[in-house]
Amino acid sequence: IKRIAVFTSGGDAPGMNAAVRAVVRTGAYNNLHVFGIKRGYEGMIDCDLVRLEVGDVGNIMHRGGTFLKTARSQRFMTPEGRRTAYEALKAYDIDGLIAIGGNGTFTGAMVFSQEYDIPIVGVPGTIDNDLYGSDFTIGFDTAVNTAIEAVDKIRDTADSHNRLFFVEVMGRNSGFIALNTAIGSGAASVMIPEKDATLEDLVDVLKMGARRKKLFSVVIVAEGNHFGGASEIAKQVKELFDFYDTKVTIIGHLQRGGSPTALDRVLASRLGFSAVEGLLEGQAGVMAGLVNSKIKFTPFEEAISKNRKPDNQLIRMAEILAI
Ligand code: F6P
């Protein structure tokens, strides 16, 4: 392998820049020519590649977003799109790829590596933390910290006004962000897709709080839970229990931005570095992940299809600590 290209794709995640920096510098150390592809698979199809030297990735470690830009590409889902992308890579003599992204990115990478003979190693970059084969994904820790900071502020006003707040966080179909935000912010309850709880159960928890003279409450709602978003849940709960003045906050894309935490910077550096070393050692069609603090390579197919759920013990603990 002599010439590799790196790209970020799907939703951006804080720490992606640190991962690109690690790829470029590990590549340079190993005498590789490293290219950056702009806007993920879209830029691959449009042949939008730039040469990345060591100095080009200086002063980006602490920045949120991705300086390579990102996109969710419809065109790459078609065989014609992928052929055009392959031809673009061949025009640049690229013989290895590093894909930084989440579920959609690795689905594309898996199909592409089945169709064309080009080794790809993935780096898990998504705030959702929903990939099998890595205990943490890049951006998750920052997103949870952002959400907790927001809930801390909401607590102040909720307390002053004796209000019940429903705070909606991201995570697509997974409850990792919500559960960790709930634990870290001391929320009264959390609604996540992985938990078997009804709205009546939630109301019971709130009633219990009211009985012990709890004058305000915060409930964290995962956007992907079974009962709808925070506004919908707030409406339904109000019909069952009208004790509190109720408000809704949707944190939304705030969770996607901002300077990455130390954990995300170190994780991104380790995974970017390991992805390049893996590629040089012959890894292909796999995602570099961190499992029990050790680097592990997992086939794309498993990374995207094996259901990763928050630990049941953590869900139970969140309930016990919230009483
Ligand atoms: O996958 C990351 C994520 O932020 C999800 O948590 C969320 O559901 C989705 O992306 C939002 O996507 P978009 O930025 O395209 O609206």
User: What's the maximum distance between 2 C-alpha atoms anywhere in the chain?
Assistant: 70
Proportion of the chain above pLDDT 70, given as a percent: 100
Instruction: Calculate mean pLDDT across residues 75-101.
Output: 98
Average confidence (pLDDT) over 91-110: 98
Q: Do 225 and 171 contact (CB within 8 A), yes or no?
A: no
Tens digits of per-residue pLDDT, 21-74? 999 999 999 999 999 999 999 999 999 999 999 999 999 999 999 999 999 999
CB atoms within 10 A of CB 283: 19
Question: Any idea how long the chain is?
Answer: 323
Q: What is the mean pLDDT of residues 100-124?
A: 98
The proportion of the chain whose per-residue pLDDT surpasses 90, expressed as a percent, equals 99
Out of 137, 140, 170, give the residue to mutate to test ligand 1, the one with the largest number of ligand atoms within 8 Å of its CB.
170
Do 49 and 36 meet the contact criterion of CB atoms below 8 Å apart?
yes
Band of the pLDDT at 119, cuts 50, 70, 90? very high
- The confidence band for 175, taking pLDDT boundaries of 50, 70 and 90, is very high
DSSP result, 39-106? THHHHHHTT-EEE--GGGGTT-TT--S-TT-----SGGGSHHHHHHHHHHHHHTT--EEEEEE-HHHH
Helix runs in 96-223, H state only: 103-115, 140-161, 176-185, 199-211
List, by residue number, the catalytic residues.
128
- Residue 128 Cβ contacting ligand 1 at under 6 Å: yes
Asked if residue 147 has its Cβ within 6 Å of ligand 1, the reply is: no
Name the residue among 142, 158, 147, 310 with its Cα closest to residue 221: 147
Average predicted confidence (pLDDT) for the chain: 97
Which of 47, 202, 171 is CA-nearest to residue 103?
171
pLDDT value for 145 = 98
Rounded Cα–Cα distance for residues 60 and 53 (Å): 13
Residue closest to 215 by CA, chosen among 153, 160, 151: 160
Please indicate whether residue 145, judged by its CB atom, sits closer than 6 Å to ligand 1: no
Residue 139, by phi and psi: left (phi above 0), alpha (psi -120 to 50) or beta?
left
Q: What is the pLDDT of residues 265-316, one digit of tens each?
A: 999 999 999 999 999 999 999 999 999 999 999 999 999 999 899 999 999 9
